[in-house]
Amino acid sequence: MMKALVIALALMLVYGVANAYTEYQFGCVGDGKMAVESPVVYEGTIYSGALAPGTWAITIPDVGWPSISDPAARWAYIWATYYAPNYSVAEMIWTAEFDNSAFYLVHTGVGTLRGVGDITFQVLDDGNQVLDPWECSDGVSGAIIIIHEGTGFYAELCGNGSYSGFYSRSCELAPGQPDYMYDDVNFLMTLWLEECGMSTDASTWGAVKALFR
């Protein structure tokens, strides 16, 4: 998440605070199953706001993760790699950041947007530093860079944004059940978009995409 936020701030400096960004805010609901699906795609519906009706998808890179044929081992790897090292004793929260994620937004009948960014899950602990079944829901958030790969109305728009909301995870289920570690997500996303400057497209947006490869 920090990488996306740093890039977002850098881009705002490149374009200048005086440029005329247009704000697009919209609500999203959906789901994902990182322990039992590969590729890992969180996706759903844009149900309200500027891009409604529409759909959204966030693809989390899972190269090097254990196979979905062993969901327990796969989840153990995810927990040990992304959550366990990022525990705050003071706040009693685990934070897992999945960088280099690909975003795809569809405004039905209007156009599409593509971006790169991250998705961050937080888990609120009761203080024992052990994941308990009743602790499997809390906040989801992230930052996004919209690159010059849109279509329709959004074909010439670039910018950045952020989102936040909540999720609920079915961590009470045993490995092997279809909905093991299934996540319901609900969040509000805000984008600040403007026309992609012809003088900066090749350098700025090419550099941004390279950072997330």
Position 122, amino acid: Q
Q: What is the pLDDT of residues 83-121, one digit of tens each?
A: 999 999 999 999 999 999 999 999 999 999 999 999 999
CB 91 within 8 A of CB 60: no
H helix runs in the chain, sequence order: 2-15, 71-78, 206-211
Check whether 147 has a pLDDT greater than 80: yes
Cα–Cα nearest to 194, from 162, 163, 148: 148
- pLDDT number for residue 210: 52
199 vs 180 pLDDT, higher one: 180
Check whether 212 has a pLDDT greater than 70: no
Q: What is the pLDDT of residues 26-84, one digit of tens each?
A: 999 999 999 999 999 999 999 999 999 999 999 999 999 999 999 999 999 999 999 99
- Cα torsion at 141, 42, 76, 66 (round to 10°)? -130
Gap between the Cα atoms of 6 and 11, Å rounded: 9
Range of the domain at 35: 2-211
Residues in the chain: 213
User: Span 127-145, mean pLDDT?
Assistant: 87
Paired with 142 in beta bridges are 163
Phi, psi of 36 (to 5 degrees): -125, 5
SS3 content of the chain, % helix, strand, coil (to 5): 20, 45, 35
What is the number of structural domains in the chain? 1
